[in-house]
């Protein structure tokens, strides 16, 4: 894992650099340099970290009592069913939705969730849907439109979206993306909700996206994993889908504020298009992280509502067409300079003309 995290720092720098290339103005140059320097000097403190499997928060074979016993730590909902091999949230049939939820709130401060999943079905590429979601939320066991869970949720949602609704919608209107803003599906995306933020299904959650990555996860022979880590308010998502037992970076964001005592869960939905959405295991690890006194003070106050720091900075990539305040400032300064130059040139020309006229007169 240590190597994976080191790689992560480089990923973050390259991600910011990509943003910088998309919007190369003074403001983003400054930000890029600032963040790059900050990252180089930041200490991951990885050597201080230990992980410990929390069995009562985890779901794994042989799924003892799941779906049959009320004393089980996990509860099924909707069309979900359990077999000896997996918890199948939906079968490869239209209009299904299912979920599995932990009954025990998670009070860990730093944690890691390893998701072993499988998405497979008869449909050809882009003729399947809709996807699988992993949750850490205040609410549990609610039916709804967001991958089978309720909208306006409170907490973290990580979506494995297998159907590009927005792209299909644009295709129908015969318009296209600029290549900068197109996402390749299946797409993994993270969103933090505070109870009043809606997931926009028609745009595949673009307006509330914290970040994400492409992940070709359908109909694979080998095992596929998703990994969500939450340490020191930093959210990191990695995927292992190539059958090489290697974690690939997907997303890494500091300043994600998630309260303790929320529930882990997984849900899935099918519509006109379908897939089997299977969860094989959800393993929760407690991470022991040593904090300096300064860090302890900084993270001291208890979080009551989920939120993400610097959401506007994360959104910078999307609003690249817009002008940042600094860019507007500089363009005003330069246009004023240009204006004065014009006046000066105008005055010189006028005085020359005046002189010539005077010469003619006398
Ligand atoms: C939730 O987030 C939105 C958008 O950032 C904000 O306008 C709203 O006040 C927040 N609600 C709560 C309860 O904090
Ligand atoms: Ca979608």
Q: What is the pLDDT of residues 211-238, one digit of tens each?
A: 999 999 999 999 999 999 999 999 999 9
Hey, which residues does 115 pair with through a beta bridge?
226, 282
Distance in Å, CA 340 to ligand 2 centroid: 53
Contact, 117 vs 282, CB < 8 A?
no
Hey, which residues does 106 pair with through a beta bridge?
262
pLDDT of residue 320: 47
Q: H or E element: which one contains 256? A: strand 256-257
Q: Is the CB of 197 under 6 A from ligand 1?
A: yes
Distance in Å, CA 246 to ligand 1 centroid: 37
Dihedral angle over CA of 222, 1, 279, 224, nearest 10: -20
State the pLDDT confidence band at 179, using cuts at 50, 70 and 90.
low
Share of residues in the chain with pLDDT > 70 (%): 81
Q: What is the mean pLDDT of residues 330-336?
A: 85
Distance in Å, CA 306 to ligand 1 centroid: 9
Instruction: Tell me: pLDDT of 39 over 90.
Output: no
CA–CA distance, 201 with 211 (Å, rounded to integer) = 16
- Kindly state the tokens that stand for 54: 């929390």
State the pLDDT confidence band at 56, using cuts at 50, 70 and 90.
very high
State the pLDDT confidence band at 195, using cuts at 50, 70 and 90.
very high
**Residue closest to 94 by CA, chosen among 260, 217, 269, 292:** 269
CA separation (Å) from 360 to 14, 238, 351?
A: 68, 82, 14
Distance in Å, CA 195 to ligand 1 centroid: 8
Instruction: Tell me: pLDDT of 297 over 70.
Output: yes
Contact, 79 vs 91, CB < 8 A?
yes
Q: Is the CB of 194 under 6 A from ligand 1?
A: yes
Ligand nearest to the CA of 128: 2
């Amino acid at each position: 894992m240590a190597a994976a995290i080191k790689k992560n720092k480089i990923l973050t720098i390259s991600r910011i650099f990509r943003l910088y290339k998309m919007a190369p103005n003074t403001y983003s140059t400054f930000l890029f340099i600032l963040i790059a320097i900050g990252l180089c000097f930041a200490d991951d403190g990885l050597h201080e970290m230990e992980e410990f499997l929390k069995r009562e928060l985890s779901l794994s074979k042989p799924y003892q009592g799941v779906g049959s016993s009320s004393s089980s730590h996990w509860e099924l909902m909707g069309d979900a069913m359990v077999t000896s091999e997996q918890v199948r949230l939906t079968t490869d049939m239209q209009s299904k939705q299912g979920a599995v939820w932990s009954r025990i709130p998670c009070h860990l401060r730093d944690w890691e969730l390893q998701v072993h999943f499988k998405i497979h079905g008869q449909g050809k590429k882009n003729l399947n849907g809709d996807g699988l979601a992993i949750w850490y939320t205040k609410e549990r066991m609610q039916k709804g439109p967001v991958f089978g869970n309720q909208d306006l949720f409170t907490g973290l949602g990580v979506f494995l979206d297998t159907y590009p609704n927005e792209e299909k919608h644009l295709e129908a209107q015969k318009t296209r993306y600029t290549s900068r803003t197109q996402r390749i599906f299946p797409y993994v995306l993270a969103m933090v909700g505070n109870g009043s933020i809606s997931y926009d299904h028609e745009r595949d959650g673009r307006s509330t996206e914290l970040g994400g990555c492409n992940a070709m996860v359908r109909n694979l022979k080998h095992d596929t994993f998703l990994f969500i880590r939450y340490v020191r308010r930093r959210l990191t998502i990695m995927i292992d889908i190539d059958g090489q037992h290697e974690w690939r970076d997907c997303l890494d964001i500091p300043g994600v504020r998630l309260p303790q005592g929320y529930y882990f869960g997984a849900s899935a939905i099918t519509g006109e298009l379908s897939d089997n959405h299977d969860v094989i295991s959800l393993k929760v690890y407690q991470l022991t992280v040593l904090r300096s006194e300064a860090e302890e003070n900084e993270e001291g106050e208890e979080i009551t509502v989920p939120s993400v720091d610097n959401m506007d900075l994360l959104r910078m990539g999307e609003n690249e067409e817009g002008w940042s305040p600094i860019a507007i400032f500089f363009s005003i300064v330069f246009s004023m300079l240009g204006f004065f130059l014009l006046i000066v040139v105008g005055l010189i020309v006028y005085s020359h003309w005046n002189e010539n006229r005077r010469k003619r007169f006398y």
